[in-house]
Amino acid sequence: MPASSTQRVLVLVFIAVAATWFQGSTAAAEPAATSPPPNIVVVFADDLGYADVGCFGAKGYATPNIDRLAAEGIRFTDFYVPQAVCSASRTALLTGCYPNRVGILGALGPASKNGIAEGESTIAEVLKRRGYATAIYGKWHLGHHDKFLPTRHGFDQYFGLPYSNDMWPEHPTNKSFPDLPLIEGEKIIATNPDQRNLTTWYADRAVGFIKENKDRPFFLYLAHSMPHVPLHVSAQGAGRTSRGLFGDVIEEIDGSVGRILAELEAQGLDRKTLVIFTSDNGPWLSYGNHAGSAGPFREGKGTSFEGGIREPFAARWPGTIPAGSVCREPAMTIDLLPTFAELAGADRSGDRPIDGRTITPLLLAQPNAKSPHESFSFYWGRELQAIRSGRWKLHFPHKYRSLAGPPGADGKPAPYQERAIGLSLYDLESDPGEKSNLAAEHPEEVERLSRLADAAREDLGDSASNRQGKNVRPAGQL
């Protein structure tokens, strides 16, 4: 290369580095943003358990495309959501906050009058400031009234369901649900749509969005309604697996990941795009053969045991994430917003405080990278039920739901019974199934985690000890 072009390249690199440094100057110690900003794709499944994809142990069907994310990128073994239920979990992903911080708990339904508050910043809003095109195809669940819709919270495009796909007149046990709207932008374009088409419709739009935006950075949030019950699969996807309808549904979701990877490749965007796959909460065990599996973990959706809150997580970004990496440090959905903002060089300086921290060093498999959190809090509603710090997890006395007998089948749920757990300390490294209570053997860990929990109670509140959080913010109200 002639000296003059080398000099020109050096000057350009210097400008890029300086611009990045300037933009990220509030966090100068953190790794620099990549330039140009990467495309970001998040595929978020609903009620898909830890062991429901091949690279996390699924049996009876195959997920070659999700497995490919892990094989060509990284797999996190200890990735969490803060609450094992749809709206709370999605709130954490999109705002980078514990759901208790921003007031969205449980699962919002057609009668809900609240949603995401105007003053919170979603991933889409943060990335939009950096010039990203943004879209969500699938389930929103942060409020279904106009002011709460994705188009009012940073997304250029929306197509999907405003809440869960079982909140409709065909619910197996609750016949009081109104018609289920299918929304495009802010308009209801159909009610009670044929759910066999949902996964395909979402994937079609995801592929179209990549094509349309191949020349600018984009954030694509593909929030599948499946495998939340009622399970539905397209005619082409039906009857393909030995696991039955559940396996068919997962293979179709996996196929949507394959279509995204193929389109990225076709557009030459492979090395410019971070693709992540994870889920909002563990399996809804009362549905039996229509529910997934939490693998080695205890219980499932709706509990603060690992089966409810630990999710499969795979991320691929060729040339940036070393292939075949595994991260065993704990991280949570709340960490994705600040991580994306950092990678994109997006400015968050005017935003409200959040709970997530950047996990860029973990995501990029940097040697000896550590979790940025001393502890993770697990609430059910407003009750602090458990806390994890390092290898230890402490449950505080609380009630939880557990199957009373055999699970349901073929779309009909079986009843849960209420059980109770006392103060219990588990070593998640030697006892991932949370079976052996070591509280008596390790009083120092009980004390240490209890202190961390007290700080969480002061900050976020706790209904079990009648405490109001000092730093909680109200949800948006109609």
Reference 160, options 115, 223, 88, 237; nearest CA is 223
Q: Does 166 bind Mg ion (CB under 5 A)?
A: no
Task: Tell me which residue of 51, 73, 1 sits closest to 264, measured CA to CA.
Answer: 73
State the nearest-atom distance from the C-beta of 429 to Mg ion, in Å. 27
**How many angstroms separate the CA atoms of 127 and 142, rounded?**
19
Number of H helices, E strands in the chain: 11, 21
Q: At closest approach, how far in Å is the CB of 284 from Mg ion?
A: 8
Minimal CB distance to Mg ion: which residue? 86
Between residues 253 and 364, which has the closer beta carbon with respect to Mg ion? 253
Residue 398 designated active-site: no
> Which of 141, 153, 224, 398 does the annotation list as catalytic?
141
46 binds Mg ion (CB under 5 A): yes
Q: What residues from 275 to 294 belong to the interface with Mg ion (CB under 5 A)? A: 280-281
Q: Interface with Mg ion includes 47 (CB under 5 A)?
A: yes
Residue with Cβ nearer Mg ion (141 or 457): 141
Return the closest-CA partner of residue 310 out of 334, 280, 340.
Answer: 280
Output 46 or 306, the one with its CB closest to Mg ion.
46
Which residue of 53, 86, 136, 203 would you call a contact of Mg ion, by CB under 5 A? Answer: 86
Tell me how far apart the 2 most distant CA atoms of the chain are, in Å: 77
Token code pair at residue 384: 């602090």
**Site string (221-260) toward Mg ion, x via CB under 5 A:** ----------------------------------------
456 and 355 Cβ atoms separated by less than 8 Å: no
Our CB check for Mg ion shows the closer of 49 and 476 to be 49
Q: Which of residues 342-381 bind Mg ion (CB under 5 A)?
A: none
224 is catalytic: no
Phi, psi (deg, nearest 5) at residue 412: -105, 125
Closest approach, Cβ 93 to Mg ion, in A, equals: 11
In 3D space, the residue among 88, 36, 4 whose CA is nearest the CA of residue 309 turns out to be 88
Min CB(282)–Mg ion separation in Å: 9
| Contact call for residues 160 and 136 (beta carbons, < 8 A) | yes
Reported as type and span, the H/E element at residue 1 is none
User: Rule CB under 5 A: which residues touch Mg ion?
Assistant: 46-47, 86, 280-281
Q: Active-site residue numbers?
A: 86, 141
